[in-house]
């Protein structure tokens, strides 16, 4: 029996992945990129830009230490309160898309 896995969503980011083990602040031109904390020995925080329609980012927790995704203090990641960060453990993928100003939707 043969199993053919297709990861088309992840394939579009294969050449556009940013690995960071230090705090990193995203800007609008980072939209469409994927970010991971591969090799991080401590918690790594990535700060989102102001939530504006069409911005999208993918995050992959890929270390024993958490990858923290921090919105601006006036923005919300759906399911959380305003300005509250979300923390990713190893193996967790988070895709965020802004449709409505001020809100990050989890895809």
Q: Which sequence spans correspond to the domains of the chain?
A: 14-106
What whole-number percentage of the chain has pLDDT above 90?
82
Q: What is the pLDDT of residues 47-74, one digit of tens each?
A: 999 999 999 999 999 999 999 999 999 9
Q: What is the pLDDT of residues 83-92, one digit of tens each?
A: 999 999 999 9
Q: Which 3 state secondary structure label does DSSP give 9?
A: helix
pLDDT score of 2: 40
Q: What is the pLDDT of residues 15-50, one digit of tens each?
A: 588 999 999 999 999 999 999 999 999 999 999 999
Nearest CA to 57 out of 23, 25, 21, 22 is that of: 25
- 14-106 topology per CATH: Jelly Rolls (2.60.120)
Q: What are the two backbone dihedrals, phi and then psi, of residue 17, each rounded to the nearest 5 degrees?
A: -105, 135
Q: In this structure, what DSSP letter does residue 28 have?
A: G
Q: Which 3 state secondary structure label does DSSP give 106?
A: strand
Distance CA 84, CA 17 (A): 25
Distance CA 98, CA 103 (A): 6
Mean pLDDT value across the chain: 88
């Amino acid at each position: 029996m043969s199993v053919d896995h297709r990861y088309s969503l992840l394939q579009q980011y294969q050449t556009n992945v940013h690995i960071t083990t230090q705090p990193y602040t995203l800007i609008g031109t980072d939209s469409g990129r994927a970010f991971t904390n591969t090799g991080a020995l401590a918690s790594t925080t990535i700060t989102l830009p102001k939530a504006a329609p069409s911005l999208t980012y993918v995050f992959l927790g890929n270390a024993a230490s958490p990858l923290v995704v921090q919105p601006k203090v006036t923005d919300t990641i759906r399911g959380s309160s305003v300005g509250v960060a979300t923390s990713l453990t190893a193996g967790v993928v988070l895709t965020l898309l802004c449709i409505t100003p001020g809100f990050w939707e989890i895809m």
